[in-house]
Amino acid sequence: MRSLETLQKEIASGDVRALARAATLVENQTDLGRELIAALFPQTGRAMTIGITGLPGAGKSTLVDQLTKHLRKEGRTVAVIAADPSSPYSRGAILGDRIRMQSHFDDGGVFIRSMATRGKLGGIAQTTLEMALLFDAAGLDVILIETVGVGQDEIEIARLADVTVLVLTPGMGDDIQAIKAGIMEIADVFAINKSDLPGAERLEQEIRAMQSLGGESDRANAAPVRRVIATEGHGIDELLTAIREVFERRGRQNTRQEVWEFRLQEMLRDRLLKDIDGESLREHAKRVAAKMEDPYRAVDELWQSR
């Protein structure tokens, strides 16, 4: 096992193998991984982090692919975090960069990481944050985070990103109602993908109508809406411009106190669970299941027994 100092040095020098090893340490929530993030923490805060969220089938992966290509053309280095084990990044065009395993990520300029930690202790949001901090400290310019769907996890992940793009497609009229609660509020930029399909105009109107209902009719503050056709690379430039405008207006999110208030709470929760005696937890769970004890009393006793 490499020492903390060696790893830190290798990452700072742009060693892509060291970065891959470090990402694994972080993903597996090892002590060394946490020490590394703690040590690298002062060097973070340079990257721009973009969250890409939306329903399955909306074309998020294709959009991430196109954004990556554009950013590379500009000479930016890019990290992609696919916060979902079923993400198609295990194959396809982008993967080339990973397979080659270039000795220095500046050779390829793209570093991709799919995560398989869904549901594990610590949660996907915490691991995603640590991964983003790692890539930030390693000097990558832009970090793209793709989420799987539109649930609570995705809302948490969006809170980590500097700018969150919600990808929608025409013809999901019912869906827009269904996903409205919780998720529409987190969109900093709306991307209407597959915008050559009928209904793109109507979808844009629906978004605008929703924004005026929400009191965001003031154009300057309302989340911009951009039409794209990700498969053909149309509108990517304009989308990226909108993302950058939002970023410039709002600034970096992980330098915000509220974001860390939430994050520290989550980390405290994980810590508590490590502090509870497993045997005692199982015993109480058994008693509650048998209706010999109510759940609130069980929690009281577990709480006091620490």
Quote the least distance from Cβ 275 to a second copy, whole Å: 9
* Residue selected from 57, 92, 96, 251 as contacting a second copy according to rule CB under 8 A: 57
* 304 touches a second copy (CB under 8 A): no
Q: Which of 217, 159, 151 is nearest to 187 (CA)?
A: 159
Site for a second copy in 103-122 (CB under 8 A): 118-119
Quote the least distance from Cβ 129 to a second copy, whole Å: 9
* Residue selected from 13, 24, 28, 86 as contacting a second copy according to rule CB under 8 A: 86
* Residue selected from 6, 24, 152, 217 as contacting a second copy according to rule CB under 8 A: 152
Quote the least distance from Cβ 231 to a second copy, whole Å: 13
**Dist CA 209 CA 220 (whole Å):** 16
Segment near a second copy (CB under 8 A), from 4-12, 20-28, 84-92, 196-204? 84-92
Quick one: the chain helix, strand, coil %, rounded to 5? 60, 10, 30
DSSP result, 176-226: HHHHHHHHGGG-SEEEE-STTSTTHHHHHHHHHHHHHHTT---TTTSPPEE
**Dist CA 261 CA 256 (whole Å):** 9
Q: What x-and-dash track marks residues 119-138 binding a second copy by CB under 8 A? A: x----x--------------
Could you write out the three-class secondary structure of 221-280?
CCCCEEECEHHHCECHHHHHHHHHHHHHHHCCHHHCHHHHHHHHHHHHHHHHHHHCCHHH
CA angle 8, 14, 20 (to 5 degrees): 75
Quote the least distance from Cβ 107 to a second copy, whole Å: 30
* 303 touches a second copy (CB under 8 A): yes
Residues 6+ apart with CB under 8 A from 174: none
Q: Is 61 or 68 the residue whose CB approaches a second copy more closely?
A: 61
* Residue selected from 12, 32, 210, 285 as contacting a second copy according to rule CB under 8 A: 285
Q: Is 149 or 224 the residue whose CB approaches a second copy more closely?
A: 149
* Residue selected from 90, 214, 271, 277 as contacting a second copy according to rule CB under 8 A: 271
* Residue selected from 141, 175, 216, 245 as contacting a second copy according to rule CB under 8 A: 175
Q: Are strands 110-114 and 78-82 parallel, antiparallel or unpaired?
A: parallel
Q: Which amino acid is at 106?
A: D
* 260 touches a second copy (CB under 8 A): yes
Structure-block tokens of residue 142: 């832009």
Positions touching a second copy (CB under 8 A) are 34, 37-38, 41-42, 44-45, 55-57, 84-86, 118-119, 124, 148-155, 172, 174-175, 177-182, 254-261, 263-265, 267-269, 271-273, 276, 281-282, 284-286, 288-291, 294-299, 302-303
